[in-house]
Structure 1
Amino acid sequence: MSTKHLLALLSSHIEGDEEQFLSIALQVAAQEARQGRPEDADKLKRLVQKARDQQRAGRPAGGQTPIPLARPRGELQGLVESVYPKVTLASMVLSEEVQSRLTRVVRQQQERATLRDHGQAPTTHMLLVGPPGTGKTMTASALAGELRLPLFTVRLEALFSRFFGETAGKLRLLFDQIAQVRGVYLLDEFDAIGARRGDPNDVGEIRRVLNSVLAFMEEPNTTDSLVLAATNHVEALDEALARRFDEVIEYGLPDRRAGRAILERRLGKFKLASRSWEAIESALEGLSQGELVRAADAVVKDAILEGATKVSLDALEAALQNRQTLKGKFRRQTGR
């Protein structure tokens, strides 16, 4: 252990900041792993997990222990944004397969010490693919909420620099953060940095970034952070990169049953009469979760301002048709 780590441990102990104390212990574990002492690193991680399990078991009934604030500092402030989501997987409408796979990831993370005792590691790298508005970004929030971890959203546009080598340096900062501070990290529009090598539009800097990401994917994740990469264009990803993810989860547009469930949940107390749903089922076809949510929000706002207790069938149908029209115009403009 370095003097810097020892001083930080003592300081956090004196100030009574137990989470900072445990975070520094994980940094020491990461250092041990890098120096070729994996057994010592695993012992430290198991002790930290045991301490956190005891914290969780001792929280007040009906309440939750507060999550310590973890804010990006220094150069990371421009690269990463952090929030503490309260949503969970139960608040999402997902297919049975996606729900089952995400629940399995949560369990692996919660019981990661048990997995390590048997020589296994929990899922830590996930690729989420599918059309816009199908729940990829919300999944990151829900996983963070389930695990009571901060959600760090990486601003990929801030990674790129016109100065040679600076982008790789920023990536190194990000990778160090992931290794040292446990959280859920979302890299949205991942195809921006994971594009195929040899692409006609490829440039040297993009290749260097991709090679850095490939190397990072091979590094041990010492804090068991969850790294989620999301993309609308999986076909653009380099195959070598796609193979390195523990899980690849595909999201699709909701069918009529799922679309109705999304609307009912979003309408809340402004629910529509059951017999009215059949009249608007065809208007749900082809709309994403995000588009359905926005249509529901539009009519709920009007109902609130008008002092109504329910939304009208005509208003909801008009909002859905508006979304269908906008989607059709976009398709014609893009040729998709």
Structure 2
Amino acid sequence: MTASADHLKALLSAHAAGDDDQFYSIALQVAAKSARQGHGRLAVELRELIDSSRGQRITRRAAPTPVVQPRGELGSLLSADYPDVRLSDMTLAEGPNALLEKVLHEQRQRGQLEKFGFTPVHRVLLSGPPGTGKSMTAAVLAGELGLPLFTIRLDGLISRFMGETASKLRLVFEAAAETRAVYLFDEFDALGADRAAGNDVGEARRILNSFLLFLDQAPPESLVVAATNHGQLLDGALFRRFDLAIMYAPPSAEQAIEVLQRRLSAMDTAAVAWSDLAALTDRLSHAELVKAAESAAKRAILGGNDMIDAEHLRNALNERHSLRHA
């Protein structure tokens, strides 16, 4: 055995920390020790492996936390996914983008914050019109941090287990304490509606009170993300319980053009005068713009070429406007 126990521990520690320079330094020490002990061939092979590995410069990516698909009662309440999207894949206004960078930075430096008695942002409320990127944001947080994304089926939670919703919520938050992941409560207004609303019932108030209690106790290792299209319907206590609230809006004309260009990046768009399309993107959400781009692309592909016809794209955008008013 040419590597000492100390060398092995140091190698594992450097690998776990992602410190390539330290890892290679220790590996070279092992190679040098092998040469001193008369294992010349092994020393040469180790140095060749180190040089080869350094030359490849493979980018490290955090591996997702290994989690099986939820089963039993929990399986009926949420589904698991392992997103591979990044913040750079989204087209966002400067404000929401900066806030998401803040969440990611604090989560990545969680250990440093906890040394001083602070916790990172881990309870995030997303509010805005449909199709503006709220669900994708949860996927981005999971993808950037190498975590699973658990989506809670709120409609089923409330309609199927009305009398047992608090116990089902407890299951979800217990999972958050046991398994580090991003937990997305989509269409959150179904759960977090204002307790003072005239059509509220006692059971709904108890459910919301239970959620607030569990949210207060949510561990900082996991991220609890709530997304709603109707922020004005939410109980005021919810805004105070979340660490951060991010407001989404339909894209500006410049952002809308960027959304179209991103989706059509595999196509030839040289003939498209993008500035002429700006007015047609008004009030369309990110999702609607993606649909329009896909419609124009499919028409071009089925027509036998990869060039986007500006007229096809114009028609696709008008179709999206027509659907909004149907």
Tell me the TM-score normalized by structure 2: 0.80
Alpha-carbon distance in structure 2 between the residues aligned to 1:188 and 1:53: 37
Offset at 1:143?
0.7
The answer to whether structure 1 residue 288 and structure 2 residue 260 are counterparts is no
2:173 to 150, 171, 175: 175
Structure 2, unpaired ranges of 5+: 1-11, 24-52
* CA RMSD of superposed structures (Å): 2.2
2:108 to 97, 107, 110: 110
1:315 to 312, 322, 325: 312
Verify the 8 A CA contact 1:56 1:65 in the aligned structure 2.
no
Q: 1:304: which partner in 2?
A: 301
Q: 1:86: which partner in 2?
A: 84
Equivalence map 1:245-256=2 (5 Å): 245-256=242-253
Largest Rg, 1 or 2: 2
Offset at 1:320?
0.1
Listed one character per residue, the Cα deviations across residues 164-202 of structure 1 (whole Å, up to 9, x for unaligned) are: 641111111111111111101110110101011121211
Equivalence map 1:182-193=2 (5 Å): 182-193=180-191
Alpha-carbon distance in structure 2 between the residues aligned to 1:52 and 1:174: 35
Offset at 1:220?
4.6
The answer to whether structure 1 residue 54 and structure 2 residue 11 are counterparts is no
Q: Matched residue of 1:186: which SS?
A: strand
Q: Structure 1 residues 131 and 65, CA, compared in 2 at 3 Å: closer, same or farther?
A: closer
The answer to whether structure 1 residue 71 and structure 2 residue 64 are counterparts is no
Offset at 1:56?
4.7
User: Which piece of structure 1 moves more, 274-283 or 172-181?
Assistant: 274-283
Q: Matched residue of 2:126: which SS?
A: strand
Q: Structure 1 residues 75 and 316, CA, compared in 2 at 3 Å: closer, same or farther?
A: same
1:157 to 151, 155, 161: 155
Tell me the TM-score normalized by structure 1: 0.78
Aligned residues: 279
Equivalence map 1:211-290=2 (5 Å): 211-221=209-219, 224-273=221-270, 276-290=273-287
Q: 2:94: which partner in 1?
A: 96
Listed one character per residue, the Cα deviations across residues 191-234 of structure 1 (whole Å, up to 9, x for unaligned) are: 10101112121122211110101111221515x11111001111
Q: 1:332: which partner in 2?
A: none
Verify the 8 A CA contact 1:269 1:310 in the aligned structure 2.
no
Offset at 1:278?
2.4
Amino acid paired to 1:182: R
Amino acid paired to 1:107: H
